[in-house]
Amino acid sequence: MAKDVIIACDMPDRESVISFLGRFEGEKPWVKIGMELFYAAGPEIVREIKARGFRIFLDLKLCDIPNTVRGAMRSLRPLGVDIINLHAFGGAEMMRAALEGLTDENGERKTKLIAVTILTSTSEEALRRELLIEKPLAETCIAYAANAQAAGLDGVVCSPLESGVIHERCGAGFLTVTPGVRFAGGERGDQVRVTTPERARALGSDYIVMGRPITGAADPVAAWRRARAEFLGGEA
Ligand code: C5P
């Protein structure tokens, strides 16, 4: 069920993102911090944005041996972000290790953990030819989502077009966080399969991730409000 819009702040440095978020004044949208900003500005930028009251999806897409991912999540845990992610491709043991790393001494976990299934930039052809995965892409995505759920994760990153089947397989409570969203009639950029916020709601997305249609708008706050109004319908 539609919960909120997350703004992908794909920006190169602290100054750009702080000045961008400054435009929101009293409003506190969800912010996605990805590799570009994190590697440039470090964990401090996460602390700073969090201290300003924004909710954060830290999109670092971890994938390594279980022991390393457990340690990485343990290092990231004190940042207290709301959502963090990894690649389902790393396997069930890695996903369980990540959950352990995010869990504190009292057995509590404040950060939701979601998995990237198959990157939307990977074609079915590349899956077969390069990764030697013969199954149809959609079937592989659903199987990876089911693995993530079995490992105890809270949801997946996927296309809005896959939200429905993933909810069917994993239940309505399993989160689908979906990029590839564009306003009707807007620029697509490099996104191939796009849906509008309204359609993402109809398809059952829980959170939509929108970057350039908001960050590149003449009035980003108005674009964010429009995205929320269209995605949340009467609930905005
Ligand atoms: O600017 P745009 O709306 O295309 O931004 C989408 C964001 O979602 C980017 O940060 C991109 O890295 C991310 N993303 C994506 N497709 C995926 C996974 C993540 O577009 N499959």
Instruction: Say what the pTM is.
Output: 0.95
Q: Of ligand 1's atoms, which has the minimum distance to the CA of residue 159?
A: 21
- Mean pLDDT rounded to a whole number for the chain: 95
Residue 91 has pLDDT above 90, yes or no: yes
How many angstroms separate the alpha carbon of residue 212 from the centre of ligand 1? 9
**234 against 135, higher pLDDT:** 135
CA angle 210, 213, 214 (to 5 degrees): 75
Separation of alpha carbons 129 and 171, rounded Å: 32
The residue whose CB lies within 8 Å of the most ligand 1 atoms, and thus the one to mutate among 209, 210, 212, 214, is 209
- The pLDDT tens digits for 13-62 are 999 999 999 999 899 999 999 999 999 999 999 999 999 999 999 999 99
The structural domains of the chain, ordered by start, are: 4-230 (3.20.20.70)
Q: According to the model, what pLDDT value does residue 143 have?
A: 97
Instruction: Flag whether pLDDT at 234 surpasses 80.
Output: no
Q: Is the CB of 74 under 6 A from ligand 1?
A: no
CB 62 within 8 A of CB 73: yes
